[in-house]
Every structure is written in structure tokens, then in C-alpha cells.
Homo-oligomer: A and B are copies of this chain.
Amino acid sequence: MAETDIKKAVVLLSGGLDSATCLAIARSEGYEPHAISFRYGQRHAVELEAARALATTLGAASHTVVDIDLRAFGGSALTDNIAVPKDRNLNLKDDDIPITYVPARNTIFLSFALAKAEVLGATDIFIGVNALDYSGYPDCRPEYIAAFEAMANLATKAAVTGASRLKIHTPLINLSKAEIVSRGVALGVDYGMTISCYDPDETGAACGHCDSCQLRAKGFREAGLSDPTRYQMAGP
């Protein structure tokens, strides 16, 4: 591919395991990735430092951190003074949406990614949502992503001029956590740089007990790989 043919893509990057893998996949597919992260009032804002380091290491062409204050609305353990649930049973049914769900978060994140894509002239957005080993969030399901893509294709200049079609890539959506980890390791992702925990300490050390820590540990265990996560003294 000639250098002029390199396609730009916007990649949502939280600093966690999934989004880091997603960035590595976008790069491996030949895209020039432009990472976007959000400072949204999350209690685990230390993940943004991880995102910054990952963007550099994994070869993002740019990295934008957008400030939005979702605490203005409240309603989630990730942004409010509500305890993060620990040691829960992860065999969730579809209608068990945990308190760590942040109202409309992925819709807001994807909307900003859409704005960035339009300004960059990119028609590809990558998001590391996952429909298997996920936390029961409505905005991680394939039908949601398809609906967002349909809406996005009516929302922008390109939608009117017919210049191009926007595509939302979800390379992890049908992978188990073990498969995601294996894929990332094959692509050279250093998972020691990622932070998955919903309730890390200020150094980024993980609690080992929240849903996200449990899903991650299960993934590494099933993949037969050791997890380089640093845990807090008390856990796991």
C-alpha cells in the first residue's frame, strides 16, 4: 500500500485491556490510528495515564483526551460516590445491569469519535466492545453498534453528499476475554501497561475484586497466560 493510501481511523482508547488490543488490531490492519480518550469524572482516572503511554507505544498517530463531566448527571458507581461492587457472580443475565454502568457512555464516546472522524476525514471508528465476557452493559451489544452506525451515516456531511460510508469496527465483539488476550499478545501488546480495574489506587494497582478485574483474571487464566497486572496489597 502506498503511503498516500493509508487510511485514518479513530480508535476509542480507555487504557484498559480491550481498547489497547483494539488499537493494536487497527494498526495491524493497516490503519493510521488516531486515539481518543475521555476524562469524564471516572474514579479510575489513572487509566488516562495508561492510555497516553499505550497510544505512544502502540503507534497512534495522535491522541486526544476530551474533557466531559458526566458527574453532572450522576447515576453510576464509576462517577459517583457509590461503592464499586466487589466479588460479584459474573454469570449475569441480560437484565442485570450493574451500578458501574454509566448512562449513555458509549453513545457519548462514539459521538465524539464521530466528530473527530469527520474532521480528520476518516470513515473508520474502532471500539473495543465485547458481547461475550462483558459486564452486561446495553451499549456493548452488536445491535446497539449497528444502530449507532446507521445513525452516524445520516448525521454527517458525508451522509448528505454520499462521499463515503462510516464504519464502526468492533474486532473484539465475538471474542472471549481469553481470545482477546491471546490476540493482543500475538500483536505485541504489553498488558502490564493496561489498567482494567474500576477501583484502582492512585498508582494504578488493581483491586482484584471488581467485575473488570475478575473478567480480566479469568481471561488470562483461560488463555494460559500470566497477567502482568499489579495488584493492591490486599488483593486479589
Give the B-binding residues of A (Cβ under 8 A): 64, 66-70, 72-75, 94-95, 97, 101, 103-108, 110-112, 114-116, 118-119, 138-139, 141, 143-144, 147-148, 150-152, 154-157, 159-161
Q: Could you say which residues of chain B place their CB within 8 Å of the CB of A72?
A: 64, 66
CB <8 Å contact, A151 and B154: no
Residue of B nearest to A114 (CB): B104
A–B complex contacts, Cβ < 8 Å, 14 sampled: A64-B73, A66-B69, A67-B68, A73-B115, A75-B119, A104-B112, A104-B156, A107-B155, A139-B154, A139-B155, A144-B154, A147-B150, A147-B151, A147-B155
| Count of chain copies | 2
List chain B residues, Cβ under 8 A from A64. 72-73
Instruction: Report the minimal beta-carbon distance from A112 to chain B, rounded to whole angstroms.
Output: 6
Determine whether the beta carbon of A70 is less than 8 Å from that of B115: yes
B67 A67 Cβ-Cβ under 8 A: yes
Nearest B residue to A93 via CB reads B160
**What are the residues of chain B within 8 A of A73 when measuring CB–CB?**
64, 112, 115-116, 119
The residues of B that contact A156 with a CB separation of less than 8 Å are: 103-104, 138-139
A106 to B107, CA, bound (A): 12
Please measure, in the bound complex, the distance between the C-alpha atom of A159 and the C-alpha atom of B147, giving whole angstroms. Answer: 13
A151 cross-chain contacts in B, Cβ below 8 A = 107, 144, 147-148, 150-151
Bound-complex Cα distance A150 to B146 (A) = 10
Which chain B positions have C-beta within 8 A of A118?
A: 75, 103-104
